[in-house]
Chain A
Amino acid sequence: MTISRRHLLQVTAAGTAAALIGLGKKSARGAGPARARRVLIINSSGGMRTTTAFHASPLRALNPFGVLAEAGALRLGAVLRANETNLTYAAPSWGAGMTVPPIDQAARGFAIIAAADHRPDGGYRPGDHRDDGQRMGTGYYLRNDAPGLLTVLNRYLGPQASAPVVTLGGSDFDAAPPSWVVDRPISLYFGGLPGEPPTGGSATVGRPLEDVLDGRVLARRRNLAHDAVSALVTTKGTLRRFGPLLADRRLRFDSDQFLDQELRGVTNRMIIEAVGNGPGVPLDGDARQVALALRLLQFGAPAACVSIGGFDTHDHEDERAPVLFSRLARFLAGIHFTLAHIPDPMGGMMLDSTLVITTSEFGRNGFEPDGFNAGLGSDHGGDPGWRYQAHVVFGAGVVPKRVHDTDDRNRPLDRPASTQRLLATVAAATGIDQSEIDRLWPTGTALYPESGPLWELWA
C-alpha cells in the first residue's frame, strides 16, 4: 500500500497553538519580527499564464483576453471575470445582504512580484513541468537533497501546531528527500477525510505495542527501507496527533449535511459561500479544497498549499481559460474575504497574520498575432511570457505594491526576483531561523543572487 505520515497529540482548542508559532520570534539575521503566523499557497498547476491574469499585458500576443482593470498595484486581465457561470458571490450566511467583493476590489490590497525567475542568472531551463515544478517547490532542479517549502515549514512550525501542515493536490512543495522524510506534510483531499479518528488501538494497550513493533523494524533497516519505515512511522504519528481533528465534521466540505458545522462562529456554509461555491451551483472540488485549507488554518495549521489543476492549456485555451481563471480569481477574492472576516485568536483578523501567495511552475509563451498557437492554446519554454512569472502576495501586513516590475512584453525592467528568494521570504516571514534558511537557499549564488528576503513587500 502507499504510505504517507503522522504523530501523537490530542487536538486542543483551535488557535491556542498559534501562540507557540509566535509572531514575536526574532530571526537570527535580525531582520525584524516574524510577519506571519501561517501561510497559504495557491498553486496553479500546469503553468499559469500570468500575463493574462494578475500582471496582465496590454499586448494581445501575451494577453489575448484583454485587460479588465487596474486594481491597486495589479493590472487584472479580463479573463479573471470572463466566465462566472458557476460561481456565486452572495454570502448571506455572513450577514443579511452580504456579498463577496470580486477580484477587482479585493486585489486593491494585493502586492505583486511581477517577474520571478527560477534561474535569475538567465541560464538555460528546459521549461517543462518536471524541472520547473521542482524549481518552484524546492528552488532547485535535480537536487536529491532539496526539500519542498511546505516540508521546510512543517519541520520548523509543525511540531508546535494544533493542526497539520497540509498539501491539497499535487505539487513539489512537499518534496522530502531522505533527511526530510519525517517532515513531509500530509496530503489531504476534501472528499477523503475519515469518519472516525484514524488511529486504531487503545492508547494504553494497542498503540504502545505497535510502537515497539515499529521501533524494532525502524532500528534495523538501512537505506530506502529505513526511509520507507520512517515515513510510515511519521504518518502514524501525524494521524495519532491530528486524528481527532481529521475526523472533525468542521473539516467536511464534501456534503451538505455538514454545512452548519461551525468553529468560533464560522460555519462550513459561510466558507463555501465565501469561496464562490454556494447554493445553486455544482460542487466545485477545487473550491472545496480551498475551503478545507481555510478551515485548517483557522484550526491552527501553520501552512497549507492548494494546487488547482488545468492550467496547462496547450489547446482550446480560448474556451478553457475563462472558466479556469475566473474560478482562480474568485477563490482568491474569497480567501481575502474570509481571512478578513475571521478573528485571529491572537488578536486582529486572520488576514493580518496569514501570508497568501500564488505560484505556478512557469508562465506561458506569447504568440503573434492573436495570442494563441495553432490549437488556440499556449505553450511553454523560451520567451519572457513563460520565463518571468508574476506572483500575487497579500495578507500578514504585506503592503500593496508592485516589485520587480516588467515592461509590457513581460521583460524585467531591472532584474527578476529569484524563486529561491521567494521561498526564503515565505520561510523567513514565519519566523524560521535565518541561519536555517540560509543553509537551504544560500544568498549570493546564481540561483539566489540577492542578499536576503524580499522584505520590501512589508516596507
Chain B
Amino acid sequence: MGTQRYGCALVLALGALAACDDGTTPPTPPDPPPPPPSQNVIDVAVWPRMIADGLTTLTPASTDELCRRMSLDLLGRTPSTEDIAAACTGKSAAEMARAFMAMPRFVEMERRFWIQRVGADPYMVMGDHLADADHLYDALARGEVGWDDFAARLLAHPAMTINRPVAAGDDVTLTVTNIFQIFLGRSPSIAEIGDYGNLLRPWRRTSERRDALGYSDGVWPASLDPMACQDQVLGVAGCTSTLLGATTVMAPVVVPQAPPGFETNPRLFYYETVQGAMPTALQTELEKPGRLLATRPEFWDQAVDLPLRRFVGWWRSTPAEPDTVLSEVTLALSSWFAAQPGHDVRELYVTVLSSILYTQSVEVAPDAGERPPWGTGPMKTLAPEQLLDSVSVALARPLGLCDPHTAEPVGEMGGSWPARLRKPQPADWYGFGGDYYRAIGVELGGCLGARQAPRQPGLKAMFAHIALADRLCRAPSTLRPAGLAATDTTPAGVDRLADHLFRAFLARPPTVDESAAMQAAGAACFAEAGCHDLDGLATQTCGALLRSAAFLYY
C-alpha cells in the first residue's frame, strides 16, 4: 500500500496525468508540479529530478555573479567594466553568452583549450602543421564549422593523425587512443585500435630538416604514402574499418608531391605542400575516419559532455555522485545537439550556459540546509592563467600569454617551434621581468605546453600566490580610483575605495558585511604608521581580495 501510494505520488510528481488506481480513493490530489522554468533542453531533462528533490524554487545568480562566471568560462578572466556594460547589464543568460562569444578573446580561449586537448607538440608534429590546425579551432569557435565537420577535418589533419611520441614510431596505438578519448570519451579496445588504425594507414611521419623555414632542429612533417592502401598482401583490407559502423575503406588517390629545396622522400605526398588547401577529392577521402565516428551516438554524447564538464564543473558532484549522475541531461542534450542543423558548438554552449544548472546562484543561505549538487550553481577554481589575467584586468594591465604549443620559456629559440610561429607576451609584465608571467604561471601550476600533464604544485603554488599578491598590490600598481585622495580617510572615502577594488577584482560591489569589514580595516589601518592612509588600505585590501576564496573560486 505504502509503495503503491509512493508510486502514485511519484507519477503525479513527474507530471504524468495517467490515472493511479491502487484500489483506494486518494485524498485531494496535490497541486500539479510547476512546469520547467524554460524549454531549454537541459531544464526540461533535469526538472523531474528537481521536483523529486523539492527544488522547484530556485535562486538565480545575480547579474554580477553570472557575468563573472560566464566571463571567466568564455574569456578566461573577470569581466572589465566595459565587458559588463556590453555583455551583461540587462541581458538574459543566453544573450550574455552570445555577447561574450562574439568577442575575439573567446576564439583565443577556445584555441588554447583545443591545443591542450589535442596535445600535439612541435617535438613530434611539424610546427607549421600545428599552426595550421589553429585555424580549425578558430573556425569551430566562430561557428564556421559544425562539430561533426570539425571532427572530420581535424581527424584528417596531421595534428591528429601523426600525433604520438616519436618513440612510438609507426605504432598508432597512442594516436587512436587520443582520438577516441577526445571524440568518443573513452579508450579504444585492442580490436578497435587495429580497426581504426587501418584508416590512418595512408599517413606517414618522417624526420627531416627545414632549416630555411626557421627550424634549427629536425622536424616531423606529415605525408601521405600513395602505396599505403595498395599493399600486395593486405589488399584493401589493410585500409578498411569494419568495427565502428558502416564498412569504411580508405582509397585516397595520392600523387607524390614534395616541397622544393629540401632533401625529401620523392615517393611521398607532403602535407606542407598544400597546407590548409588540400585538393577537394583527397580531403573528402581523408575525412572518412571522422565521418565514421560521427555516426556513433557516443560521438554526440562526448560533444555535449565537454561543455557540461567545463562549464557546469566537477564541483557539482560529491565523491559518491560523479557527474554522470545527471545522465538524463547528457542524453537529452546529446539527442538535441545531434538533431541541430549545423551542429554549431556555440549554440550548444548557449544551451548549457542558459540552463538552470549554470544560472542558479552558487550561494546558499548560511542557515539553509544541504542541497544536492544540482541544487546550486557551479563553482570552479581559478586556473593559473585565469587568475593572472583577472589580475591584469583588475589592475588595467595588458594580458599575458603562455604559448600552449610549447612549454619553452618566452624568448627561447627552440629548434622545433620557430620564432615566426611564436606569439610573444607583453614584455616586462608588471615590471617584474620579461618572462615573469609565464614563470609565475608555471609556479601556480599552469602555463602548460600542449603535451604537459597538469601539475600538482600543492603548497608551493600557495606560496607563489601569496608572494604574487604581495608584489602586485604595491607600486607600480595603481589601486586608488581616480579622484580619490590618499588622505581621504573618511568612511565615504573607504566606501569608495572598497567599491572600486571589489568591482575590479570580484566584478561586484561589496556586500553589507564586507563594507563593514572594510570600515573596520580602515580604522585599523589609519591607526598604524605602516598603513595610515588609503594607499596603505588599498594595498592591504588588494592582497586580501587576491588571497580570498571570493576571488580564487568562481
Chain A positions within 8 Å of B, measured between CB atoms, are 1-4, 6, 144, 177-178, 186-189, 192, 194, 196, 198-202, 204-210, 212-214, 216-225, 228-229, 232-233, 235-236, 239
Contacts and interface: CB of A to CB of B under 8 A. Distances in A.
Contact of A2 (B458, B467, B550): B458
A228 B382 contact: no
B528 A192 contact: no
A221 B459 contact: no
Contact of A202 (B373, B446, B531, B550): B531
B310 to A, nearest CB: 17
Contacts of A216: 511, 513-514, 550
Interface residues of B, number: 67
5 closest Cβ pairs, A-B complex = A213-B548, A206-B540, A212-B517, A210-B544, A225-B379
A208 B315 CA distance: 27
Given A205-B521, A209-B517, A225-B315, A217 B553 contact: yes
B462 A213 contact: no
Contact of B514 (A213, A222, A224): A213
A209 B461 CA distance: 22
B544 A224 contact: no
B298 interface: no
Contact of B461 (A1, A204, A214): A1
A229 B382 contact: no
A222 B376 contact: yes
A236 B470 CA distance: 15
A245 to B, nearest CB: 13
A143 B455 CA distance: 26
A20 to B, nearest CB: 25
A225 B537 CA distance: 30
A1 B459 contact: no
Given A177-B319, A192-B459, A228 B379 contact: yes
Nearest to B320: A144
A220 B541 CA distance: 22
Interface stretch (B152-160, B162-170, B172-180, B357-365): B357-365
Contacts of A205: 521, 524-525, 528, 531, 536-537, 540
Nearest to B518: A209
A210 B470 CA distance: 14
B76 interface: no
B366 A220 contact: yes
B382 A221 contact: no
B255 to A, nearest CB: 47
SS class, residues of chain B in contact with chain A: helix
Interface string B246-284: 000000000000000000000000000000000000000
B467 A198 contact: yes
Contacts of A209: 517-518, 520-521, 540-541, 544
A239 B467 CA distance: 13
Contacts of A177: 319
B317 interface: yes
A179 B517 CA distance: 29
Interface string B511-554: 10110011011001100101100001100110111011111110
Given A198-B466, A235-B459, A223 B315 contact: yes
6 contacts: A1-B384, A2-B457, A200-B543, A216-B513, A224-B316, A228-B553
Contacts of A198: 462-463, 466-467
A151 to B, nearest CB: 15
Nearest to A213: B548
B549 A222 contact: no
B387 interface: yes
Contacts of B38: none
A56 B188 CA distance: 44
A116 B520 CA distance: 58
Contact of B549 (A2, A201, A232): A232
A188 B460 CA distance: 8
Given A4-B462, A212-B514, A223-B316, 12 more contacts: A1-B381, A1-B383, A4-B458, A192-B460, A202-B528, A205-B536, A222-B375, A223-B315, A223-B318, A225-B379, A229-B553, A239-B462
A7 to B, nearest CB: 13
Given A209-B541, A222-B364, A222-B370, A1 B520 contact: no
A222 B371 contact: yes
Given A1-B461, A225-B376, A228-B381, A218 B363 contact: no
B242 interface: no
A221 B362 contact: yes
Contacts of B461: 1-3
B238 interface: no
Given A200-B470, A228-B315, A208 B520 contact: yes
Contacts of B308: none
A254 B525 CA distance: 38
B318 A1 contact: no
Contacts of A213: 514, 517, 544-545, 548-551
A187 B461 CA distance: 12
Contacts of A206: 521, 540-541, 543-544
B544 A207 contact: yes
Given A201-B540, A202-B531, A217-B550, A192 B463 contact: yes
A194 B458 CA distance: 13
A167 B482 CA distance: 48
A232 B520 CA distance: 24
Contacts of B127: none
A4 B375 CA distance: 27
A194 B548 contact: no
Contacts of A229: 549, 553
B350 interface: no
